Amino acid sequence: MRDTERVHAWSAPLCISCTRRDAFTCAGPGTFSAGLTGSTGYSFCTEGNGSAPCPFYLGSFEAVATSTITATLTCADNTTVRRRISNLVIKLSQPAFGIAEQGTSRKGFPRGGLILESAFEVDGQHVTARRPASNDVIVDAAGTTFAATDLSVTLQVPCNSSVAAITVKVSAHDAGVTGGALGERPGVVNTTGTTGTCGASRPLTATVSDPNGDAGSLRWRVDGVLLAPATTSMVVSGPHSIEAVVRDARGATTTAREDVSCQ
């Protein structure tokens, strides 16, 4: 298991149902399908340490429909209308922690555990929404392979003088091919001085780099304890393990450690 796992671009089916249902397939009355591309980033551990057990961290997920869907909607006032649904984008609104199933590569998020942002156009009218996933979501992640099925969200769209409820279902799979849509994890070099005077304040210094330009703020851990975000120095009174920790916007984390002492 590597410190940080990255998933590459994938393509998979997307389905839209014109009626509210808990589950459906890409076939049958009232169900429409479209091509889908997207990307996601995740880590098995919150701090990127693959040697210790910890929750599954889903840092990013984005699904983009590659075609327009023309659907017959049933409005809340029982009228019907045909609408063109285009430019659909569904993405994870905020990082989330999943529950790992022991002995397998399956991870689960309970209903409402993933908050999704959706943006799309209905006959040229732009619509945005922020909704929780409307069902339990199972993710299969092992190394660079990734699969997410039955990820569904229910949206309200304009429909004549009222609205219609549509359910969008995403099924994504990536076999872990060479290359990565999300690029590389951030880099960090811990330049904190390893020796000094006991009882004196010592600056905590590091150099951060990220080829994708999405590295977040630098954090510090001393002997496994995470320090306050604004900490830039500490008093050294004995030997310590000092770690510089940086995480990018998609959840990839890099840690650089220095063992320090004093005289």
Could you tell me which of 110, 109, 117 has the C-alpha nearest to residue 92? 117
Classify residue 126 by burial, with Cβ atoms within 10 Å: 0-12, 13-18, 19+. exposed
Q: Nearest-CA neighbor of 128 among 116, 114, 113, 140?
A: 116
* Residue 62, phi then psi, degrees to nearest 5: -140, 130
pLDDT of residue 143: 62
Can you give the pLDDT at residue 238? 93
Homologous superfamily (CATH) of 187-260 is: Immunoglobulins (2.60.40.10)
Chunked into runs of 10 residues, the chain (263 residues) has average pLDDT values of 38 53 42 76 57 68 84 82 88 86 81 90 88 85 71 82 82 58 72 93 93 80 92 93 84 85 91
Task: Report d(CA 93, CA 59) in Å as an integer.
Answer: 10
Residues of the chain with CATH 2.60.40.10: 187-260
Give the separation between CA 254 and CA 208, rounded to whole angstroms. Answer: 10
Strands (E), the chain: 5-17, 31-43, 56-65, 69-74, 80-92, 96-100, 106-109, 115-122, 125-132, 137-142, 145-159, 162-174, 187-190, 200-203, 206-209, 215-222, 225-226, 233-236, 240-248, 253-260
Structure confidence at residue 27 (pLDDT): 43
- Position 182 scores a pLDDT of 42
CA dihedral 229, 233, 235, 236 (to 10 degrees): 100
Neighbours of 78 (CB within 10 A): 8
Residue with tokens 């002995």, as numbered in its chain? 103
Instruction: Please report the pLDDT score of residue 76 as a whole number.
Output: 80
CB 188 within 8 A of CB 246: yes
